[in-house]
Amino acid sequence: MEAIAAELLARARREPAFDLMDAFASALPVSVICHLLGVPDADAPRLRAWGSAIAADLDSLAPSRRQRAATAALAELHVFFGALIAQRRRDPRDDLLSRLVAAEAEEDRLTERELMGLCILLLFAGFETTVNLIGNGTMGLLQHQEQAALLREDPGRIPGAVEEMLRWDAPVQMVARVATMDVDAAGAHLPEGQVVSVFLGGANRDPEVFPAPDAFDVERPNARRHLAFAAGPHHCLGAGLARLESEVAFATLLDRLPQLRLAGPARRRPTFVLRGYAHVPLAS
């Protein structure tokens, strides 16, 4: 991860300004998950494009044009992984995909459909979220230079800062749950079977849990109590990977860019469930 992050940033800094999102924040997680899964690097740009099309469709209010683009992207991903899985069946390698294929071959393990779903989930879950954590966190530091200075002074503060970034500007704002029994919560009655939209970003700014919740404080002692990775049995499977990738990303950024400075206006993406930036132009 450190080697990938350093190389991406060195390449980006050949220009006087670069787009953090394109050159670094989205390139790093895609590259890491491709390495883990065993997807060739050359395919990363296509995977990024498919991932963006699917992410846009996560918003329930997305216009139908976006839904059609997402359906097309999903179909292409199935073809892509179908070919790669067939290849690994013939010629297994030392990667996650080959191990998943081996698990599929064992009796009563993964079905072909589950295997395909898992590949797409791992790929997609890994790069439409960590991307936003790196982007949102960098914007937090740009808007609070005194906090960036604290991290430069002692990089040991970076893991705590990543928790505060997850709390302050959560990359996944909402998840859905279904009540499995009648529940009374916060003055509302939820009958069994009721679908509930849970606003993780709202919970992360609960003043009863986080004093001065709107403040961005990399030394906040209980920042890790955020719900950015959700909770319960479906707590994010990739939380450890996401934390590590982001720690490496911020350590590299702060080390190589002694003056973290915007080179133009940053622009948010229009998505709602996934919250992040489309462009963050940085001065090299």
Q: Which two tokens stand for residue 161?
A: 């800062």
Q: Is 31 in the site for ligand HEM (CB under 6 A)?
A: no
CB of 176 to ligand HEM, least distance (A): 6
Is 158 or 228 the residue whose CB approaches ligand HEM more closely? 228
Q: Is 165 in the site for ligand HEM (CB under 6 A)?
A: no
* Beta strands per DSSP E along 165-276: 174-178, 183-185, 188-190, 195-199, 267-268
Q: Is 122 in the site for ligand HEM (CB under 6 A)?
A: yes
CB of 57 to ligand HEM, least distance (A): 15
Q: Is 171 in the site for ligand HEM (CB under 6 A)?
A: yes
By residue count, the chain amounts to 284
Reduced to 3 states, what is the DSSP secondary structure of residue 121?
helix
Q: Is 236 in the site for ligand HEM (CB under 6 A)?
A: yes
- Taking the C-alpha atoms of residue 155 and residue 159, their distance in angstroms, rounded to an integer, is 9
Q: Is 126 in the site for ligand HEM (CB under 6 A)?
A: yes
Q: Is 238 in the site for ligand HEM (CB under 6 A)?
A: yes
Looking from the CA of 59 toward its CB, the CA atoms found within 13 Å total 16
Q: Which two tokens stand for residue 87?
A: 């290849």
- 282 strand-pairing partners: 18, 262
Return the range that interacts with ligand HEM (CB under 6 A); candidates 2-10, 12-20, 102-110, 119-127. Answer: 119-127
* Beta strands per DSSP E along 100-206: 174-178, 183-185, 188-190, 195-199
Of positions 73, 85, 97, 241, contacts ligand HEM by CB under 6 A: 241
User: Interface residues with ligand HEM (CB under 6 A)?
Assistant: 33, 121-122, 125-126, 129-130, 133, 171-172, 175, 228-230, 234, 236-238, 241-242
